[in-house]
Amino acid sequence: MTIPQQPRTSLHQPAPILILGGGLMGLAIAHQLARRGQAVTVISRRRSEAAGFVAAGMLAPHAEGLSGALLQLGQLSLGRVPSWVAQIEGDSGLPCGLRSTGIVVPFQTAAERDAYPTAQLGQSLNRRDLEREIPGLGPEWSTGLLFEQDGQIDNRRQLMRALERACVSLGVQFMEGAEVHGLECDSTRQLCGVDLRSAEGEQQQLSCQQAVLCNGAWSQQLVPQLPVFPVKGQMLSLQGPRQALKRVIFGPGTYLVPREDGLIVVGATSEREAGFTEGLTPDGQKQLQRGITSLLPMAANWPPMERWWGFRPCTPDEGPLLGPGPMPGLWLACGHHRNGVLLAAISAELLTGQILNTPLSRSDLDLLEAFSWKRFASPTTRV
């Protein structure tokens, strides 16, 4: 079959860079590439299923107790978020819902608190401090840590829409409802195209020289060498009184994220054995309810507004896959597990720099090396 050429604005413009996946990561990278004058096409099966619409939006490298290179990557991204959000808001004219709320991590004992990986980066709280920061906190929590440097963004209602609008304003093209089935390479193993089924059910091949894999939990279906698997998460939201909860509470197994209008996002189960099984379950919803009652008993009486589920893209070490992929021309930005919202800013910056061959600092190159897909590859599968 002849591979049709992508639409071009001139005879000398190269084929667009293809973004395979229209979730948060794909949109973030498409936006950065378009800001630098690149022609970009986003291919998405169903953007509503993307993890960016499902996550709670915490920006919490410290509160989540990250360590090593993942903590370093998270801290770097956290520092980039304000300027990144300013770009998106400027290009879209829409707010992203960024809030510097700080995050409280409660513990039952001081020993548990002191053993937390990022304890030295937070402010220690006794019970009286906890009650001041979280009025109504459950009685079982005697101590805690406050990470004022961490925050949140309203990804579900604001960030994703603003990113979509920003991409459109910069000329990014979208193929919504299209599902990529395979990647094509030439005799030198260079990526040269993708096979897909359009929203109308037609089988097509699109030529390309570069593509970015942002397929989230489905990434391994396109590139079998990548150890990315789904971890299902169920969530719900409550409508509380405005200002009833000012800090994010990050408890063991459950977190409560307050939006400015009083909506409380509650998450999330972590179901590694569920695969891609869709739907809510009674056990999952009961787990969330127990977490609410434990952390903030008064919230157990607040009316539920919405319930949903999604699939986190996880790797064996829970770190992302970033940088060049198994074939020349294919780039990876997937496997971010529960930190996709946090890491979107730095992932988009680093990937865009690599794709456009922009000189990167030694520390940036070291981080990309730390999160290369090759850390999981056997010698026979490395290119």
For residue 145, give the CATH number of its domain: 3.30.9.10
Token digits of residue 216: 């989230």
Considering the domain architecture, whether residues 368 and 329 belong to the same structural domain is answered as yes
Considering the domain architecture, whether residues 285 and 194 belong to the same structural domain is answered as no
Considering the domain architecture, whether residues 31 and 136 belong to the same structural domain is answered as no
Verify cis geometry, omega within 30 degrees of 0, for the bond prior to 345: no
Q: Is 361 domain-assigned?
A: yes
Residue 356 Cα to chain centre, angstroms: 23
Phi-psi group of 335: left, alpha or beta (phi > 0 → left; psi -120 to 50 → alpha; rest → beta): left
Q: Is 190 domain-assigned?
A: yes
How would DSSP label each residue in 167-209? HHHTT-EEEET-EEEEEEE-TTS-EEEEEEE-TTS-EEEEE-S
| Dist CA 223 CA 379 (whole Å) | 17
Question: Which residue range forms the structural domain that includes residue 362?
Answer: 17-55+158-228+317-376
Considering the domain architecture, whether residues 22 and 113 belong to the same structural domain is answered as no
Considering the domain architecture, whether residues 287 and 239 belong to the same structural domain is answered as yes
Q: Is 224 domain-assigned?
A: yes
Give Cα separations from 202 to 6, 178, 199 (angstroms): 16, 9, 7
Strand locations in 94-247 (E): 98-99, 103-107, 123-125, 143-147, 151-153, 173-176, 179-185, 191-197, 203-207, 211-213, 229-239
Q: Which residues of the chain fall short of a pLDDT of 70?
A: 1-13, 47-52, 379-383
| Dist CA 43 CA 22 (whole Å) | 6
Please give the tally of structural domains in the chain: 2
Considering the domain architecture, whether residues 248 and 361 belong to the same structural domain is answered as no
Give me the pLDDT at residue 377, please: 82
| Dist CA 329 CA 273 (whole Å) | 33
Considering the domain architecture, whether residues 138 and 238 belong to the same structural domain is answered as yes
Q: Is 324 domain-assigned?
A: yes
Q: Is 271 domain-assigned?
A: yes
Considering the domain architecture, whether residues 119 and 245 belong to the same structural domain is answered as yes
Considering the domain architecture, whether residues 360 and 342 belong to the same structural domain is answered as yes
Q: Are 341 and 57 in contact (CB under 8 A)?
A: yes
Q: What torsion, rounded to 10 degrees, do the Cα atoms 76, 317, 368, 155 define?
A: -50
Considering the domain architecture, whether residues 356 and 338 belong to the same structural domain is answered as yes
Give me the pLDDT at residue 10, please: 43
Give me the pLDDT at residue 54, please: 80
Considering the domain architecture, whether residues 323 and 359 belong to the same structural domain is answered as yes
Q: Are 195 and 184 in contact (CB under 8 A)?
A: yes
Q: φ, ψ for residue 326 (rounded to 5)?
A: -65, -15
Q: Is 68 domain-assigned?
A: no
The residue among 261, 293, 314 that closes a domain is 314
Considering the domain architecture, whether residues 255 and 193 belong to the same structural domain is answered as no
Give me the CATH number covering residue 207: 3.50.50.60
The residue among 296, 314, 332 that closes a domain is 314
Q: Is 84 domain-assigned?
A: no
The residue among 287, 314, 341 that closes a domain is 314
Q: Is 200 domain-assigned?
A: yes
